Structure 1
Amino acid sequence: MADAHRPDKDKEQDAVRHPAELVAFSKVKAGDTVIDVWPGKGYWSRLFSPVVGAKGKVYAYVPAEIVDMKSDPMGIAKAFAAEPGYGNIEAISDPLAQQPPPDMQNKFDVVWTFENYHDLHDSFMKGASVDGFNQAVFKLLKPGGYYIIVDHAAAKGQGLKNTEDLHRIEEATVKAEVEKAGFVLDEESKLLASTTDDHTLKVFDPAVKGKTDRFMLRFRKPAK
């Protein structure tokens, strides 16, 4: 967090994102190879970069299904990867559910996605398979590697019903989808949970923005 290269716009989000606790929860360490899925403006990629250090690598992964968005997510990723002090960040893009070739399997230590897993189910993803994506993540990770998902909680029983309108997903649904790919739940945290969020508002609504009920899940690829 004290990295001198971090922009002020990132530091301004620290109070609601709890970066020290979340980076610790991710288990990212020196020398690791990390994939930051749907990296946005680079907040987490910039944090992981000094943690993994010169011997590590951070891949800012932009799903190919969204590269044509007006916001130009790939252009943004390439821009923050080129910032001074972040030479170990590389922006990459592939189709969401593309299965990795043999030489890329069992190579990564951590796959991370923050408040974007629900978007993988949305119609603008052009029918990409979330099951296929989770299977690809399983193949990419080393045995014992971690898959971390932080997202906005939907009400119990809502499943995938609110991924597009409210940008929320039910925690139990995420667990079932990821475990289906072969992962085991390693740890969950209530650090970002909120009892004042009744799950009925869009996450961008000023009444709940930055204060939504969010779940933190860390899955592990079995060592054997």
Structure 2
Amino acid sequence: MKTRLILALLATSLTAACAGNSVIKFFSPPPTPLERAVDNPTRSTEFRARDVYRHPLQTLKFFDVNADMTVVEIWPGAGWYTEILAPLLRGRGQYIAAGFVVSAENSPRWRQDMAQDFAKKFANSPELYGHVQVTELGAPDRWQMAPAGSADRVLTFRNVHNWMTGGFEREMFAAMFTALKPGGVLGVVEHRAKPDATLEQMKKSGYVTEAYVIQLAENAGFKLQAKSEINANLKDSKDYPQGVWTLPPTLRLGEQDKQKYLDIGESDRMTLKFVKPK
């Protein structure tokens, strides 16, 4: 009887509130550290515009990235994910940016320029990036991105095709395996080729088959834990005159059919989570 009376009183109160145009406020939980990092106002407007294709919040959640971890990002390029990971890990964790091996003799000009711009980014904002560790990783002889067994997460975004072009993809996967703690996670995002693509087609187009990435990881000692379609794009036909670079953000054909490629958007991508066995 008492329960019915209480429910009736609650219903009466709600009805009266609605009739009086009162506002009933529902409180949502505060944002998580990862959500705050993705919404960080220090992120560039240009980079934020690509969230619709890269889904950073969902991707980093899928890789189980937390603020108290040691996270290595392989070849961060212009620092797209750096703008999220560095603030996220400042204070409680550690962000390691394992960049290109750059030399004036052997590195293409674009890679030298990108490395210089990346260094300027850090120098201009020490309050954001002063705690970041920067290492070099890649051929011919830089295979230690972090002390062996020290990383909770190693992340690589759209890099496997570059390693294949250089002929050192196996060395890179071995290096990532070495850097991770037992039980640590390797997160891979890569342009996804059609399943029947050959190695030569992969190198030329920039698209890589899921099967080849899984093979590389398993040969290095990893176990595939999960796949996600977070970064899939069904509009991507993968048959363009300049390979994946035909699409944004590169738009290698310039103004030729530009709107067509903008409408397709960025590439179809696999998102794979591997674990280093304990």
TM-score band w.r.t. shorter chain? 0.7 to 0.9
Q: Indicate conservation of the 8 Å contact 2:234/2:268, yes or no.
A: yes
The Cα of 1:4 is off from its aligned counterpart by 2.3
Residues paired across the two proteins, number: 218
Match of 1:182 in 2: 221
Structure 1 moving runs of 4+ over 6 Å: none
Give 2:115's match in structure 1, choosing from 70, 74, 80: 74
Determine the C-alpha separation between the residues in 2 that align with 1:91 and 1:73. 14
- SS in structure 1 at match of 2:78: coil
- Residue identity over aligned pairs, in percent, reads 27
Q: Are the equivalent residues in 2 in contact too, given 1:56–1:88 (CA < 8 A)? A: no
The answer to whether the 8 Å contact 2:137/2:143 transfers is no
Tell me the residue number matched to 1:62: 99
Give 1:89-100 correspondences, 5 Å limit.
Answer: 89-96=132-139, 98-100=142-144
Residues 124-139 of structure 1: pairs in structure 2 closer than 5 A: 125=166, 127=167, 129-139=168-178
| Contact residue 98 and residue 132 of structure 1 kept, 8 A | no
Q: Report the counterpart of residue 45 of structure 2 in structure 1.
A: 8
1:52 aligns with 89
Larger Rg: 2
Q: Residue 165 in 1 paired to residue 220 in 2?
A: no
Extract unaligned runs of 5+ from structure 1. Answer: none
Offset at 1:58? 1.4
1:194–1:11 Cα change, 3 Å = closer
Unpaired runs of 5+ residues, structure 2, are: 1-37, 248-259
Q: 2:179 maps to which residue?
A: 140
Change over 3 Å in CA distance of 1:56–1:18 after alignment to 2: same
RMSD: 2.2
Distance 1:177 1:192 in 2: 21
Report the Cα distance in structure 1 between the residues aligned to 2:67 and 2:238, rounded to whole angstroms: 37
Alpha-carbon deviation of 1:45?
1.4
- Give CA-to-partner distance per residue, 1:84-106, whole Å, 9 cap, x none: 422232332143464449x9110
TM-score (norm. length: structure 2): 0.72
- Equivalent position of 2:59 in the other structure: 22
What's the secondary structure of 2:225's corresponding residue? strand
Report the Cα distance in structure 1 between the residues aligned to 2:87 and 2:197, rounded to whole angstroms. 39
State the match for 1:41 in structure 2. 78
Cα distance in 1 for residues equivalent to 2:133 and 2:201: 32
Quote the offset at 1:132 in angstroms: 1.7
- Name the structure 1 match of 2:131: 88
SS at match of 1:173: helix
Q: Tell me which residue corresponds to 1:205.
A: 246
Amino acid at match of 2:161: H
